[in-house]
């Protein structure tokens, strides 16, 4: 199969570097160009980017010249790891110019005609794309987003349960990794021996995104799921891997065993379509008392799987559990790549 040429927007950042790492050997996509800010444009990628991944920078990108983030670069699909301060406008410009934009940024996530996609949970939401193109007067271009790095594992845990028993309300406390703040993130003296109980703008995102993801499509628009979420977020001294303590109330109460079995047996379109980045199984349910843990479990399913443990009765709500996902892979670059694979499999990138 001839590979599809792609551009990475914001290629020098934490998420951009993950895109480079994950796309360098991708069977369907080939990196054709890299963009960043004017600070980096014009330099070879190896010079513009301070590489902070745990594998070497791929040879194929080292001498690529970083371009300004303008829609005249080689590639038909644009993966966006842009800073949210600029992502909104830049992504619109790329979509208007005909690129399929697959974004990590928050800017367009909640727009009424933009899919907020977790391919295992709401793959049908991509069918809004023709409506989006009509609304905005775009021919081939479009924007698809992936959720916030907490909302991805949260939606993966809630999705299969919501379908069977109806989620009524959710209380979530997060322990979020440092890489979620980009580089350099917090100063060492602020985060070592410490927990910071605030991440700017995070709680509102966590409190609304799952409702869109777990919602349905009717009459060419999204109908959001009607449960309520209360989120309390914390930054902890972990490099990668966001952990969530979830308490869930259901419309019809399941047993602990039913919840575990439903999560264990869950499989969906990315697995059936054998998308290259789809984790098999998508959810790993652990029975040990002390799992999941970021260091031990963040790389489950090539870092695309979600680990769930400590499923038990909740004295306040119905069921509580601990959920873990790799924030820069399953919650960011890997999520966007899986979105693009689904788009390709469904003919949206032809």
Q: Cβ distance 193 to 216 under 8 Å?
A: no
Of 10-18, 136-144, 165-173, 226-234, the segment contacting ligand NAP by CB under 6 A is: 10-18
Alpha-helical (H) ranges within 195-268 are 202-213, 256-265
Cα–Cα distance between 265 and 161 in angstroms, integer?
11
CB of 187 to ligand NAP, least distance (A): 16
3-class DSSP state for residue 240? Answer: coil
Q: Which of 26, 49, 108, 149 is catalytic?
A: 149
Cα–Cα distance between 31 and 23 in angstroms, integer?
7
Q: Reply yes or no on whether 49 is catalytic.
A: no
Residue closest to 317 by CA, chosen among 184, 165, 135, 208: 165
CB of 147 to ligand NAP, least distance (A): 8
Cα–Cα distance between 216 and 228 in angstroms, integer?
16
- CA–centroid distance for 189 within its chain: 29
Token pair 């820069």 in the structure block, residue: 328
Selected from 332, 336, 338, 343, the binder of ligand NAP by CB under 6 A is: 332
CB of 310 to ligand NAP, least distance (A): 24
Residues 215-274 that bind ligand NAP (CB under 6 A): none
Q: How many CA atoms lie within 13 A of 17 on its CB side?
A: 19
The DSSP annotation for 70-122 comes to: SS-SS-SEEEE---HHHHHHHHHHHHHTT-EEEE-SSTTTT-TTS-B--TTT-
The DSSP annotation for 84-98 comes to: HHHHHHHHHHHHHTT
Cα–Cα distance between 312 and 322 in angstroms, integer?
10
In this structure, what token pair is assigned to residue 277? 């980045």
- Is residue 16 a contact point for ligand NAP (CB under 6 A)? yes
Selected from 21, 67, 104, 229, the binder of ligand NAP by CB under 6 A is: 104
CB of 240 to ligand NAP, least distance (A): 8
- Is residue 305 a contact point for ligand NAP (CB under 6 A)? no
With respect to ligand NAP, which residue has the nearer C-beta, 117 or 248? 117
Cα–Cα distance between 213 and 116 in angstroms, integer?
6
Q: Reply yes or no on whether 242 is catalytic.
A: yes
Of 117-125, 126-134, 265-273, 325-333, the segment contacting ligand NAP by CB under 6 A is: 325-333
3-class DSSP state for residue 170? Answer: strand
Residues 168-197 that bind ligand NAP (CB under 6 A): 179-180, 182-183
- Is residue 13 a contact point for ligand NAP (CB under 6 A)? yes
3-class DSSP state for residue 180? Answer: helix
With respect to ligand NAP, which residue has the nearer C-beta, 18 or 320? 18
Q: Cβ distance 205 to 211 under 8 Å?
A: no
CB of 9 to ligand NAP, least distance (A): 7
Pattern of binders to ligand NAP over 24-63, x per CB under 6 A?
------------xx-xx-----------------------
Residues 78-97 that bind ligand NAP (CB under 6 A): 81-84, 86-87
Q: Which of 26, 108, 162, 242 is catalytic?
A: 242
| Closest-approach residue to ligand NAP (CB) | 13
CB of 79 to ligand NAP, least distance (A): 11
Cα–Cα distance between 163 and 216 in angstroms, integer?
11
Selected from 327, 329, 334, 339, the binder of ligand NAP by CB under 6 A is: 327
CB of 15 to ligand NAP, least distance (A): 3
How many residues interact with ligand NAP (rule CB under 6 A)?
A: 30
Which residues does the annotation mark as catalytic? Answer: 149, 242
User: Which residues are near ligand NAP by CB under 6 A?
Assistant: 10-16, 36-37, 39-40, 69, 81-84, 86-87, 104-106, 149, 179-180, 182-183, 327-328, 331-332
């Amino acid at each position: 199969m001839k590979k599809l040429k792609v551009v990475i927007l914001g290629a020098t950042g934490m998420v951009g570097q993950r895109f480079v790492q994950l796309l360098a050997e991708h069977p369907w996509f080939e990196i054709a160009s890299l963009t960043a800010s004017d600070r980096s444009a014009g330099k070879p990628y190896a010079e513009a980017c301070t590489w902070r991944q745990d594998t070497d920078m791929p040879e194929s990108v080292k001498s690529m010249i970083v371009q300004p983030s303008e829609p005249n670069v080689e590639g038909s699909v644009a993966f966006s790891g842009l800073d949210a301060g600029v992502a909104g406008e830049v992504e619109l410009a790329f979509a208007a110019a005909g690129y399929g934009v697959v974004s990590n940024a928050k800017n367009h996530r909640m727009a009424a005609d933009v899919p907020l996609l977790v391919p295992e949970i709401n793959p049908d939401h991509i069918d809004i794309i023709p409506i989006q193109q009509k609304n905005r007067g775009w021919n081939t271009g479009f924007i698809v987003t992936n959720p916030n790095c907490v909302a991805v594992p949260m939606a993966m845990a809630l999705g299969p349960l919501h379908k069977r028993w109806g989620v009524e309300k959710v209380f979530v406390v997060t322990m979020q990794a440092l890489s979620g703040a980009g580089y350099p993130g917090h100063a060492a003296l602020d985060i070592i021996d410490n927990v910071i109980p605030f991440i700017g703008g995070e709680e509102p995102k966590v409190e609304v995104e799952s409702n869109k993801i777990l919602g349905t499509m009717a009459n060419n628009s999204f109908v959001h799921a009607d449960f309520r979420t209360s989120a309390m977020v914390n930054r902890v001294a972990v490099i990668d891997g966001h952990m969530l303590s979830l308490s869930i109330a259901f419309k019809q109460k399941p047993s602990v065993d039913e919840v575990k079995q439903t999560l264990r047996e869950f499989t969906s379109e990315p697995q059936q379509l054998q998308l290259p980045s789809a984790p098999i199984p998508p959810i790993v349910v652990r029975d040990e008392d002390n799992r999941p843990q970021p260091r031990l479990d963040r790389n489950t399913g090539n870092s695309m799987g979600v680990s769930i443990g400590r499923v038990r009765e909740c004295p306040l709500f119905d069921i509580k559990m601990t959920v873990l996902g790799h924030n820069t892979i399953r919650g960011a670059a890997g999520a966007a790549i899986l979105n693009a694979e689904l788009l390709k499999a469904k003919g949206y990138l032809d």
